[in-house]
Amino acid sequence: MILPFRRLQALFVLALTFLVPGVVAKPIKVGFAQTGAESAWRTANTQSMKSEAEKRGIELKFADGQGKQENQIRAIRSFIAQRVDAIVLAPIVETGWDPVLREAKRAGIPVVLTDRTIQTADESLYACFIGSDFYEEGRMAADWLAKKTGGKGSIVELQGTPGSAPANERRRAFADALTKHPGLKIIDSQSGDFRRSGGKEVMEAFLKKHGRAITVVYAHNDDMALGAVQAIQEAGRKPGTDIIIVSIDAIKEAIQAVVDGKINCTVECNPLFGPKVYDTVTRLLAGEKVERKSFNKDELFDSTNAAAVVASRQY
């Protein structure tokens, strides 16, 4: 009785060994709804997702949301219709996702949130989140600034896309941290939509309105900071010297600007998480448990360490 059972077991294992490669050989189909192409960070993130999919033989259906939530929602519906195995979403804003995520859930398609979080009363609508801790980035930027200025300054803030998690969290963290430093005040704050042109335009307006009262720029990303650098130079002032600039992302161009003394500090927000996303998708599809929220580790760059990393910076 025992032997035939063991044999049966062995046969089952053998059958699996032959069957599984067949199943695995069928490429995993992933739909990725990206926010758009607003910044150098975004370009690097898209590149990481595309190149890693290619490396792993994953069939990637890529949709550029062009900065609009309705485009991303349409893309998710099309991924559902195409019966993808998993959906990866970088949500442009935090709210308004429940109905479409419910549709994905009903279709049995797991959704992995990347880069940005959402606000929902139903946490079961997505499998997990992979990205940076935006609040922590804002806190690091504010603490650095407080040390650098001795807690004194008049700040203009260049906000990211209204309603997006990074704009909300970086703003909140910075404001929270400033409560410990009453000499540091935000005198104006406006959105540049995470774009270089937006940062330049808003900074030009700030300079016209506040003139020499501005001593600090806090930009929610490097592209806007680099736009502000241009505006300050065109106004005949020295960015990094006359006006301190603190920013977030740590793209290569901003680290170079730190080396050149035009930006004073940039807090990293690492966009190269394609490998982590596909590892997670593969594990989810294999029925494994994954971490609910996984945060990337981000560093801070200023005049003390920028020169050492700029040459090897990948994005």
Whichever of 28 and 165 has its CB closer to ligand AHR, that residue is 165
Which residue type occupies 34?
Answer: Q
Considering the complex, state which of residue 215 and residue 221 has its C-beta at the smaller distance from ligand AHR.
Answer: 221
Cross-sheet strand order for the sheet of 29-34: 59-64, 29-34, 86-89, 111-114, 128-131, 293-295
Piece in contact with ligand AHR (CB under 6 A), picked from 16-24, 34-42, 138-146, 198-206: 34-42
- 226 lies in the binding site for ligand AHR (CB under 6 A): no
Contact between 278 and ligand AHR by CB under 6 A: the answer reads no
- Of 69 and 221, CB closest to ligand AHR: 221
Shortest distance (Å) from residue 288 CB to ligand AHR: 27
Question: Looking at the DSSP assignment, which residues form a beta bridge with residue 248?
Answer: 267
Burial class (CB in 10 A: 0-12, 13-18, 19+), 206: buried
Long-range contacts of 235-242 (CB under 8 A, 24+ apart): 235/204, 235/207, 239/263, 240/264
CB 222 within 8 A of CB 40: yes
Among 28, 30, 32, 41, which residue sits at the site for ligand AHR (rule: CB under 6 A)?
41
Question: Considering only residues 191, 221, 264, 270, which one is a binding residue for ligand AHR as defined by CB under 6 A?
Answer: 221
Distance set, CA 13 to CA 1, 17, 26 (Å):
19, 6, 20
Backbone angles phi, psi at 278, to 5 degrees: -70, -30
The single residue among 115, 157, 253, 268 that binds ligand AHR, judged by CB under 6 A, is 115
The nearest distance, CB 74 to ligand AHR, in angstroms, is 21
By CB under 6 A, name the one of 248, 258, 265, 277 that touches ligand AHR.
Answer: 248
Q: Which is nearer to ligand AHR, 116 or 181 (CB)?
A: 116
Based on the shown chain and the rule CB under 6 A, indicate whether residue 249 belongs to the binding site for ligand AHR: yes
| Range 146-185, binding ligand AHR (CB under 6 A) | 166
Give the integer Cα–Cα distance in Å for 280 and 282.
5
Residue at 197: amino acid letter: S
Task: Using the rule CB under 6 A, give the single segment among 36-44, 67-75, 291-299, 307-315 that binds ligand AHR.
Answer: 36-44
Tell which residue, 146, 144, 167, has the closest CA to residue 157: 167
Q: What are phi and psi of 243, to 5 degrees?
A: -130, 125
Which stretch in 17-25, 33-41, 179-187, 254-262 sits in contact with ligand AHR by CB under 6 A? 33-41
Binding site for ligand AHR (CB under 6 A): 38-39, 41-42, 115-116, 166, 194, 221, 223, 248-249, 269
